[in-house]
Structure 1
Amino acid sequence: MNYPNLPNSHLEISEQPQVKEITNELLKTLQDALKGNHLFTEQVELSLKGIVRILEVLLSLDFFKNANKIDSSLRNSIEWLTNAGESLKAKMKEYEGFFNDFNASMHANEQEVTDTLNANAEKIKSEIKKLENQLIETATRLLTSYQIFLNQAKENANNEINNNKTQALNNINEEKANATTQINANKTESLEAITQEKQQATSEINEAKKTAFNEVLNELTPKISGLYSGIFYIRNIIYIQGGWEQKVKDLSDYALEKSKKYEIEVFFNFVSAKNLENSVVFALKTNEGFLKESIQKLTHKYTAQTYHRNFGFILIKCG
């Protein structure tokens, strides 16, 4: 766009001659405004006021020209005012031409200015739209990245939890297996120790009992000589499996005399592998029959049992 240059506001006016008798405040103000750094509008306003004043003065110039008593200095002032008025008129015309050119330029550039403003407005709207799209794209990308991060964190947390859970279960199962193995080992060891101790105790008890019985027998034999024909200690271990056969301890090998008293003690262990019939018994057999007091029914199954019976002072009549 092309605009006319602003005219120079300086007026080429010579220095005002000194007039002692005549003073003009408006003229002084105008001169100060033109010579000083005043606003252009203020200079124009004062110039217009000066023009009005000059025109008023010019109307009365004829009077001053015909006056015979006008001082020569006053004539010089009048001439100066005339020259200043002409200079001011020329400057006003120059400004008038400037404003005319400026108005014409503004009218010529109005469409260009409008188009430029509209183009700038559209460009601004386009840039705003681009920024909005960039913001939406950036927000979407951030949300997507954040969602991916959350999903990854969730998956990692689940994997960590599952790994810890699996590890904990494995540790628990391992500890349980170790504890079970240890318990079973301790149980087996305890049972073996108990069984061994039981067998040892049973053996020691039987030995002690046998020893004590023999000692008593040795001590009583001289005293009861002729009263008892004999004392017998019978100890058998019987194991029954897959059926039953009557177990009989035959005393026929012993020389049992008639009308004699005998003390017989029977002691043995047995295990039955099934339920036994009601007729299954254990009995002591003599050369002339069985001792009725020795008949004992055996009916238990899968149980280690001890058969112990003392037939003390039994009178056996053989015949």
Structure 2
Amino acid sequence: MPQSLSAPPLVQDTALAASGRRVIEIEAQALTALAQRIDGSFSAACRTILACQGRVVATGMGKSGHVARKIAATLASTGTPAFYVHPGEAGHGDLGMITDADVVLAMSYSGESDEVLMLLPVLKRQGNPLISMTGRPGSTLAREADIHLDISVPAEACPLDLAPTSSTTATLAMGDALAVALLEARGFTADDFARSHPAGSLGRRLLLHITDVMHGGDDVPRVSQDASLSQALVEMSRKRLGMTAVVDAQGRLVGLFTDGDLRRTLDNPALDIRQASIGEVMTRQPKTIGADQLAVEAARMMETHKISGLIVVDGEQRPVGALNIHDLLRARVV
């Protein structure tokens, strides 16, 4: 029978908080030391990756493997094509995923992980540039690499000096440093980032245009400026956008009538709503937006001017679309 674990002794909150702070302080010291070693080797690693005609293949075993996956994902999302290969699986066929055009980024804090070292002869024979990250510059992996990045730390945050803590933080930070340096060197932009994150909130904000979310064609509410107020209300009810465009004889926008305008009209005792034309009660020179603009610009305009809808116009001020705040909410732009 397995031995049951006894309940841990009661630990005071102050002791738990002190332990947490100690970890952060030790890891912060490790990162400060790491920053001093961003030198010529780091620049050489960046230039090697920039010259790569293939992809960056990140690999590592255990905790280093988990960090390698994250680094590969960060590189890929910031303009450097990359993927992760498990070193154990590589020895059983996945080496075929690595072409001679690829750069290999191998991580092992000890620099002696058997699964990673096993790959070196094949990579050398294939001619892959090898960049290593280790905490021991004299290790096998460091010596065999074309470029070595020193990620050594003064101490692990684990009080037993067993669980990788400061070392994995340093490895991750070095990977982030590579990704950002490469991003800046490539001139990678927010639009580029959005294209690789179409499902994320940033992607939606940077990729969705007005044409993607607006109501167009017969769904655009519009009435003539000679129409009666009741005719405008019928059009608003049919199109269910809480507003209608008001156009002149040439179809150009001359005004807008909204639910808010209706409330203000009903509050005007001097106006006979049964006889009023829409031209008398509409809002003149309403805010508009172009179809080629980003949906996020519509959201910004609505927020700035405290309005809930916009008419989309072409270059001749003819309504071609309409949208309201609910359209932007459905598209998750706001």
Q: What TM-score comes out, normalization by structure 1 length? A: 0.18
When normalised by structure 2's length, the TM-score is 0.18
Of structures 1 and 2, the larger Rg is shown by 1
Q: Which has the higher helix share?
A: 1
